[in-house]
Structure 1
Amino acid sequence: MLLLQTNDVVRRFGADVLFHNMNMQIQEHGRTALVGRNGAGKTTLLKMIAGITEPDEGTITKVKDLTIGYLAQDQGLDSQNSIWTELDTVFAPLHKMETQIHDLEQQLADLDSSESNYQQILSTYDNLQTAFKKRGGFEYESRMRGILHGFGFGEDSYDTPINSLSGGQKTKLALAKILLQAPGLLILDEPTNHLDMNVLSWLEDYLKSYQGALLIVSHDRYFLDRVVSDVYDLDNKTLTHYTGNYTQFVKHKQERLQAEWKHYDQQQKKIAKLEDFVNRNIVRASTTKRAQARRKQLEKMERLERPETDDKSIHFQFHSEKDSGNEVLDVEQAKVGYDEQILAGPLSFNVRKPQRVGIIGPNGIGKSTLLKSILHKIPLISGTIKLGANLDIGYYDQEQQQLHPNKTVLEEVWDDHPEVPEKDIRSLLGSFLFVGDDVYKVVHDLSGGEKARLELTKLSFKPINFLILDEPTNHLDIDSREVLENAINEFSGTVLFISHDRYFINQVATDILAMEHDGIKHYEGNYDDYLVAKEKESSPKATSHNSNTIAKAPAGKQSYQQSKEQQRARRKIQRQVDELEQQMTELEEKQTAIQEQMSQPEIATDIGKLTDLQKELDELSAKSEEVELAWTEAAEKLEEFDQEN
Structure 2
Amino acid sequence: MKELLKLNDVYVEIKENMLLEKMNVTVKQGDVIGLIGKNGAGKSTLLQLINGKIEPSKGTVEWMQMNMTTAYVEQEKESFVSKDIISQEAELLAKWGVPTNDFHTLSGGEKLKVRLAKGFAENPNVLILDEPTNHLDEMSTEFLIKQIKNMKGTVIIVSHDRYFLDVVANRIWSIEDKKLIDHSGNYTSYMKAREHKRKTQQREFEKQQKKIEQVETHIKELSSWSQKAHAQSTKQEGVKEFYRVKAKRMDAQVKSKRKRLEKELEKTKVERVKEEYSVEFSIQASKKIGKRFLEVKQLRKEFNNRILFENVNFTIQHGEKIAIIGPNGSGKTTLLKMIMGNETAEGEVWISPSANIGYLTQEVFDLPLDKTPEDLFYKETFEERGKVQNLMKHLGFESSQWKEPIRHMSMGERVKCKLMAYILDEKDVLILDEPTNHLDLPSREQLENTLAEYNGTLVIVSHDRYFLEKTTNTKLVFVNNTIQKQLEEPTKTRDEIEELRLTLETERQEVLGKLSFLTSKDKKYKALDERFMELTKQIKEL
TM-score (norm 1): 0.59
Spell out, residue by residue over 1:199-235, the C-alpha distance to the aligned partner (whole angstroms, 9 max, x if none). 3331122212323332212344453343223311011
How well do the aligned residues superpose, as a CA RMSD in angstroms? 4.8
> What does residue range 112-123 of structure 1 map to in structure 2 within 5 Å?
none
Instruction: Say if 2:518 is the partner of 1:518.
Output: no
Q: Which amino acid aligns with 1:20?
A: E
Q: What is the aligned length?
A: 468
SS of the equivalent of 2:416 reads helix
Aligned residue number for residue 208 of structure 2: 267
- 1:37 is paired with a residue whose SS is coil
SS in 1 for 2:128: strand
Provide the rounded CA distance (Å) in 2 between the counterparts of 1:517 and 1:42: 40
The aligned counterpart of 1:31 is 32
For residues 397-546 of structure 1, the aligned pairs below 5 Å read 397-399=361-363, 409-410=373-374, 412-414=376-378, 421-432=384-395, 438-439=401-402, 449-501=412-464, 504-505=467-468, 508-516=471-479, 518-521=481-484, 522=486, 524=488
Structure-2 change in CA distance of 1:354 and 1:170 (3 Å) = closer
Which among 328, 335, 341 is matched to residue 300 of structure 2? 335
Match of 1:206 among 137, 147, 152: 147
**Cross-structure match for 1:304:** 270
> CA deviation digits over 1:88-146, x for unaligned, max 9?
5xxxxxxxxxxxxxxxxxxxxxxxxxxxxxxxxxxxxxxxxxxxxxxxxxxxxxx5554
Q: Give SS of 2:225's match.
A: coil
Distance in 1, Cα, partners of 2:113 & 2:342: 31
Are 1:151 and 2:151 an aligned pair? no
C-alpha distance in structure 2 between counterparts of 1:178 and 1:30, whole Å: 17
Distance 1:406 1:418 in 2: 23
What is residue 121 of structure 2 aligned with on the other side? 180
Shift, 1:189, TM fit? 2.8
Separation of aligned partners in 1, 2:280 and 2:295: 33
Counterpart residue identity of residue 300, structure 1: E
Query: For the residues of structure 2 that align with 1:419 and 1:346, how far apart are their CA atoms?
Result: 53
The one-letter amino acid of 1:191's match is: P
Structure 1 residues without counterparts, runs of 5 or longer? 89-142, 534-639
Fraction of identical pairs, as percent: 31
Q: Does 1:223 align with 2:164?
A: yes
Residues 502, 205 of structure 1: alpha-carbon distance in 2 compared, 3 angstrom cutoff? farther
The alpha-carbon deviation at position 273 of structure 1 amounts to: 3.4
Q: What is the CA-CA distance between 1:401 and the residue it aligns to?
A: 9.9
User: Can you list the C-alpha shifts for 1:65-95, whole angstroms capped at 9, x where unaligned?
Assistant: 68443314147764543x2xxx15xxxxxxx
Aligned to 2:500: none
> Match of 2:197?
256
1:408 Cα offset (Å): 6.2
User: Which residue identity lines up with residue 484 of structure 1 in the other structure?
Assistant: L
Paired position in structure 2 for 1:41:
42
Residue matched to 2:519: none
Match of 1:281 in 2: 222
Do 1:228 and 1:244's aligned partners in 2 also have CA atoms closer than 8 Å? yes
Instruction: Give 1:360's aligned residue.
Output: 325
Q: Distance in 2 between matches of 1:403 and 1:184?
A: 35
Change in Cα spacing, 1:340 to 1:19, as seen in structure 2 (3 Å) is closer
Specify whether residues 435 and 39 from structure 1 end up closer, same or farther in structure 2 by C-alpha distance, changes over 3 A only: closer
Deviates more, 1:177-186 or 1:396-405: 396-405
> Residues 495-644 of structure 1 correspond to what in structure 2 (within 5 A)?
495-501=458-464, 504-505=467-468, 508-516=471-479, 518-521=481-484, 522=486, 524=488
Is there any run of 5+ residues in structure 2 with no aligned partner, and where? 227-245, 498-533
Does the CA contact (< 8 Å) of 1:468 and 1:495 recur in 2? yes
Looking at structure 2, the residues matched to 290 and 475 of structure 1 have their Cα atoms a distance apart, in angstroms, of 59
Is the 8 Å Cα contact of residues 152 and 199 (structure 1) preserved in structure 2?
no
Q: Is the 8 A contact 1:220 1:503 kept in 2?
A: no
Identify which of 340, 360, 371 aligns with 2:336: 371
Contact 2:71-2:122 at 8 Å conserved across structures: no
Cα distance in structure 1, aligned partners of 2:276 and 2:9: 19
Structure number, greater radius of gyration: 1
Deviation at 1:498, TM superposition (A): 1.1
Letter in 1 for 2:37: G
Which letter maps to 2:324?
Answer: I
Q: What is the Cα deviation at residue 493 of structure 1?
A: 4.1
Kindly tell me: are residues 482 and 3 of structure 1, through their superposed partners in 2, closer, same or farther at Cα, counting changes over 3 Å? Answer: farther
Query: Corresponding residue for 2:346?
Result: 381
> What is the TM-score normalised by the length of structure 2?
0.68
Query: Could you say what secondary structure the match of 2:450 adopts?
Result: helix
Moved more, 33-42 or 58-67: 58-67
The one-letter code matched in structure 1 to 2:283 is F
Q: Is the 8 A contact 1:260 1:307 kept in 2?
A: yes
For the 8 Å contact 2:10–2:22, the answer to whether it is kept is: yes
- Give the equivalent residue in structure 2 for 1:128: none
Structure 1 residue 457: Cα displacement: 1.6
Q: Tell me the alpha carbon deviations over residues 332-378 of structure 1, each in whole angstroms, 9 at most, x when there is no partner.
A: 54435799996423334565676643213244433233234445665
1:35 offset after TM fit, Å? 1.3
Distance verdict in 2 for CA 1:237–1:427, change over 3 Å: closer
Q: 1:511 to 1:292 in 2, by over 3 A?
A: farther
Q: Would you say the 8 A contact 1:5–1:23 is kept in 2?
A: no
CA distance in 2, matches of 1:407, 1:53: 24
Partner of residue 3, structure 1 = 3
Distance (whole Å) between structure 1 residues aligned to residue 373 and residue 53 of structure 2: 35
In 1, the alpha carbon distance for the partners of 2:184 and 2:474 equals: 33
Shift of 1:497: 0.6
Structure 2 counterpart of 1:21: 22
Contact kept, 8 Å, 2:8 with 2:62, in 1: the verdict is no
C-alpha distance in 2 between matches for 1:422 and 1:339:
48
1:27 and 1:56, CA in 2 relative to 1: closer, same or farther beyond 3 A?
same
Deviation at 1:259, TM superposition (A): 3.9
Spell out, residue by residue over 1:573-605, the C-alpha distance to the aligned partner (whole angstroms, 9 max, x if none): xxxxxxxxxxxxxxxxxxxxxxxxxxxxxxxxx
Contact in 1 for aligned 2:431/2:459 (Cα 8 Å): yes
Output one character per residue of 1:256-289: Cα deviation in whole Å (capped at 9) or x when no partner.
3344334324423432332232133245268948
Distance across 1 between alignment mates of 2:344 and 2:198:
52
When residues 337 and 9 of structure 1 are mapped into structure 2, their CA distance, relative to the original with a 3 A threshold, is farther
Alignment of 1:100-179 (within 5 A): 146-153=91-98, 157=100, 172-179=113-120
Partner of 2:242: none
Return the alpha-carbon distance in structure 2 between the equivalents of residues 62 and 445 of structure 1.
28
Checking the alignment, whether the CA contact within 8 Å between 1:336 and 1:373 is kept in structure 2 is no
